[in-house]
Structure 1
């Protein structure tokens, strides 16, 4: 869908995204092909369909963030043309959207595992995240093989995920990033200084986002492959 903004054809699924999509569809097929489906199984089918949509939304947001980020070359906002400034703001919009979706997908995966494996993480913490579920799985020990695979992913992507989490918390829980930009501009203008955005920061953020997407796609693939094997 978003590729149309750049005059490109629709995406052809490949790589880690394709692996995650295939794993979800295989598990969903085992549920839909059953002669009779329980209400719980129908619930899981709907959940699988939701995962397919959210992974698609994440990839598209990441794609748009990258493409608009490439259009930003100036180091200072007051050096940008009106067109480049628009591209910068579009980059921020899609980057923040993708950033939030990384953790939304992971948390949805955590809630799915909690219900599918009857982990009852809510007894430990009423509002829990994907990472809370992982810690609870480690203590539960019934699914240690899957837990170990997911834990290894967590360790592998720990540094970029921590940076993304901090940015996500800033975006959601503290002052709005655009408002903060405006306040900084007003303060800097008072002293006649330029506002530097740092194109190198854009590239670092996009690299972290790529790592976050990889971790999300891999985690989803591991979970649904595991479920398919157990079906």
Structure 2
């Protein structure tokens, strides 16, 4: 199982030291680790299959959050090395930094939604929400809608729903970009691309660089929402598990 320490895969590209966790990612990791310690506080022979699954599942979030943060960091670092407005203004080095930024920007988005969907699956099973009866292939947001509409685990639902509303606009932009990357081009987007091509017909077409400042602002909001959602969910699950009296307190071991 991942031990929660930063493995420093991407910061070495910039000859930089390991990350020291602070802020939202630190809080999320601490919430996961606290729940993992609670699960481990039961002797191995007394853990049932479900608890062993939760232990492995919880640990996988630590690596996923680390990979998310590193991808986000690389997108910021590469983006900071791009200043040209148009692609044809870039020399080869700047063009390389631009394409690296785009790669890590898209990678961060995909990882972000993968973590959220994993969190949705985890909550669905842990709380027996039966979201699969509403939609066979469901996302984190489907789970949240199920909790909201059916008033399930109200305290946690209100925290997560408020979080979703607070970050609605940037996360929606990121979701559209994610869909473009892993699904298909929809009819509206095709119309936009066709209109742009027709407007430039017969003229030299200059390709404007993507809005890196907007990219990074949206990623910052999206990652913060993800870290906070994980923290709130695991803190709630920890409190619920401990209050059941099934687990001895970790400090008692």
Q: Is the contact between residue 146 and residue 223 of structure 1 (CA under 8 Å) also seen in structure 2?
A: yes
Is the radius of gyration larger for structure 1 or structure 2?
A: 2
Q: Equivalent residue for 2:57?
A: 47
For structure 1, the 5+ residue unaligned runs are 176-180
1:85-121 Cα distance to aligned partner (Å, 9 max, x none): 0111100110000011111110000000000001110
Q: Equivalent residue for 1:83?
A: 93
1:60-88 Cα distance to aligned partner (Å, 9 max, x none): 00000000000011111111111110111
Q: Distance in 1 between matches of 2:77 and 2:118?
A: 27
Count the aligned residue pairs.
221
For structure 2, the 5+ residue unaligned runs are 1-8, 186-192, 242-253
Q: Is the contact between residue 77 and residue 85 of structure 1 (CA under 8 Å) also seen in structure 2?
A: yes
* 1:190 CA displacement: 6.8
Q: Which moved more, 1:54-63 or 1:130-139?
A: 130-139
Equivalent residues in 2 for 1:66-81 (5 A)?
Answer: 66-81=76-91
Q: Equivalent residue for 2:217?
A: 207
Q: Equivalent residue for 1:197?
A: 209
Q: Equivalent residue for 1:178?
A: none
Q: Distance in 1 between matches of 2:144 and 2:132?
A: 13
1:160-217 Cα distance to aligned partner (Å, 9 max, x none): 1111111111111125xxxxx9xx99x979732321115xx11111100100000000
Identify which of 70, 73, 91 aligns with 1:63: 73
4+ residue runs over 3 A deviation? 187-191
TM-score, structure 2 as length reference:
0.83
Q: Is the contact between residue 31 and residue 45 of structure 1 (CA under 8 Å) also seen in structure 2?
A: yes
Query: Do structure 1's residue 94 and structure 2's residue 104 form an aligned pair?
Result: yes
Q: Distance in 2 between matches of 1:188 and 1:50?
A: 48
Q: Which moved more, 1:136-145 or 1:49-58?
A: 136-145
Query: Do structure 1's residue 153 and structure 2's residue 163 form an aligned pair?
Result: yes
C-alpha RMSD of matched pairs (Å): 1.8
Structure number having the greater helix percentage: 1
Q: Which moved more, 1:29-38 or 1:18-27?
A: 29-38
